[in-house]
């Protein structure tokens, strides 16, 4: 039996990125199948599996539009030359067989961002050559006759696509990300004690954790504002060029002493182990892996209606969901979420909710989708 030659397109492969974790979990789960795995990328960080074939497409770039357009052309030339059986792109490039909408719909992100930026920034975004390029590339890709399937990691993104593009709903497949609930486990008492000592957090405090880089989109401002009117602590994992602005905000709201900024972490699990709940009032997030990881670690989740992860949360059971900018509702949720040492029912419900979504389920979903796409060809 000849192997199916699958090409996965991702411009910049960073092991800590959400899309990359989807790719690596999928590829590792699919590895035993009859697949010849190829990655088309500009640069790969980390150590790829020696069985995967890397195709480096790194044309010269002179700014963001040139970077996107240049990679799109080079990637398309590569897959046309190689004649792969299936091309699955994680970038907005017309001509692929399957597109994974891991970043959601760009227009919806711009609509959400418009809620928090100044009129000048809104005007600037509407005139930006980069945003115009992305909107055009997205439309060309969704309208391309060659597009056979779209993978969404949430029902929210599927509805966003149907609202903005004339794509047949039967082409859109919701395949949730995988989570290894054997690897991500709730903290033991000893683990929680040790990590809280390390971060100088009171052992009896109720601690929230925020995980994400790009603080504007992920809602750190709202998280700090909501937390300020409580006695809760917050551990912030991630980085942002405007870090000092968020520290100043916390200082103005007299809660800086209850925040711990710990930067990007290669292994986030010990930080989940310090916490009682995940706080992620993100403006627009198709389905962040951190929601699954936190739930696997037995944490309740407080997130927003603009987060695909909200699909896994019923109010008061696995956590709470509210508008990303509703500070009062966020504060109510923070106050209503108990410390795990007092009541672990929400954390236990959260872990039960994600347990079925292991790597094997993801592999089966993808394999069956690839078979459908091949038949359609």
Percent of the chain exceeding pLDDT 70 equals 94
Three-state secondary structure readout of 147-202: CCEEEECCHHHHHHHHHHCCCCHHHEEECCCCCCCCCCCCCCHHHHHHHHHHCCCC
CA–CA separation, 255 vs 331, rounded Å? 14
Query: Quick one: pLDDT band at residue 368, thresholds 50, 70, 90?
Result: confident
Q: What integer pLDDT is reported at residue 12 of this predicted model?
A: 81
Q: What integer pLDDT is reported at residue 359 of this predicted model?
A: 84
Rounded to an integer, the average pLDDT of 78-105 is 94
Percent of the chain exceeding pLDDT 90 equals 76
Strands 277-280 and 207-211: parallel
b/e code 300-320 from CB counts within 10 Å (16+ = b): bbbbbebbbbbbbbeeeebbb
* pTM for the predicted model, two decimal places: 0.91
Cβ 194 vs Cβ 167: under 8 Å: no
Neighbours of 373 (CB within 10 A): 17
Q: What integer pLDDT is reported at residue 373 of this predicted model?
A: 87
Q: What integer pLDDT is reported at residue 376 of this predicted model?
A: 76
CA–CA separation, 277 vs 299, rounded Å? 5
Q: What integer pLDDT is reported at residue 3 of this predicted model?
A: 80
Residue 363 has pLDDT above 90, yes or no: no
Q: How many residues does the chain have?
A: 377
pLDDT in tens, 309-355: 999 999 999 999 999 999 999 999 999 999 999 999 999 999 999 99
Q: What integer pLDDT is reported at residue 371 of this predicted model?
A: 84
Rounded to an integer, the average pLDDT of 349-377 is 88
Q: What integer pLDDT is reported at residue 237 of this predicted model?
A: 96
Tokens 């602005």 label which residue? 245
CA–CA separation, 94 vs 78, rounded Å? 14
Residue 296 has pLDDT above 60, yes or no: yes
Q: Which of 315, 308, 317 is nearest to 290 (CA)?
A: 308
pLDDT in tens, 30-46: 665 577 888 899 988 77
């Amino acid at each position: 039996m000849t192997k199916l030659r699958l090409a996965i397109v991702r411009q910049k492969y960073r092991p800590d990125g959400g899309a990359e974790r989807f790719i690596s979990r999928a590829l590792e789960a699919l590895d035993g199948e009859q697949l010849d795995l190829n990655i088309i990328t500009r640069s790969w960080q980390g150590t790829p599996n020696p069985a995967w074939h890397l195709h480096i497409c790194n044309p010269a770039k002179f700014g963001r539009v040139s970077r996107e357009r240049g990679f799109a052309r080079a990637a398309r030339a590569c897959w046309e030359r190689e004649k792969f059986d299936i091309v699955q792109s994680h970038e907005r490039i017309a001509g692929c067989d399957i597109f994974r909408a891991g970043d959601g719909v760009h227009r919806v992100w711009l609509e959400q961002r418009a809620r928090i930026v100044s009129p000048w920034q809104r005007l600037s975004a509407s005139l930006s050559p980069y945003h115009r390029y992305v909107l055009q590339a997205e439309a060309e890709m969704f309208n391309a006759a060659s597009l056979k399937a779209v993978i969404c990691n949430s029902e929210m993104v599927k509805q966003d696509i149907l609202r903005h593009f004339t794509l047949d709903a039967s082409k859109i497949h919701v395949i949730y990300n995988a989570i290894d609930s054997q690897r991500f486990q709730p903290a033991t008492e000893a683990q929680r004690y040790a990590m809280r000592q390390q971060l100088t957090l009171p052992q009896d405090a109720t601690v929230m954790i925020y995980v994400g880089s790009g603080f504007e989109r992920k809602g750190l401002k709202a998280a700090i504002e909501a937390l300020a009117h409580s006695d809760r602590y917050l551990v912030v994992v991630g980085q942002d060029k405007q870090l000092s602005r968020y520290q100043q905000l916390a200082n103005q709201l007299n809660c800086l002493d209850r925040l711990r900024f710990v930067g990007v972490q290669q292994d986030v699990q010990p930080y989940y182990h310090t916490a009682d709940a995940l706080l992620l009032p993100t403006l627009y997030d198709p389905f962040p892996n951190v929601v699954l990881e936190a739930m696997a670690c037995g944490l309740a989740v407080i997130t927003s209606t603009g987060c695909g992860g909200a699909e896994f949360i019923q109010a008061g059971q696995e956590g709470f969901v509210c508008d990303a900018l509703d500070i009062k509702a966020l504060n109510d949720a923070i106050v209503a979420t108990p410390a795990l040492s007092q009541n672990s029912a929400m954390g236990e419900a959260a872990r039960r909710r994600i347990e079925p979504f292991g790597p094997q389920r993801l592999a089966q979903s993808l394999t069956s989708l690839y078979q459908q796409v091949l038949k359609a060809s």
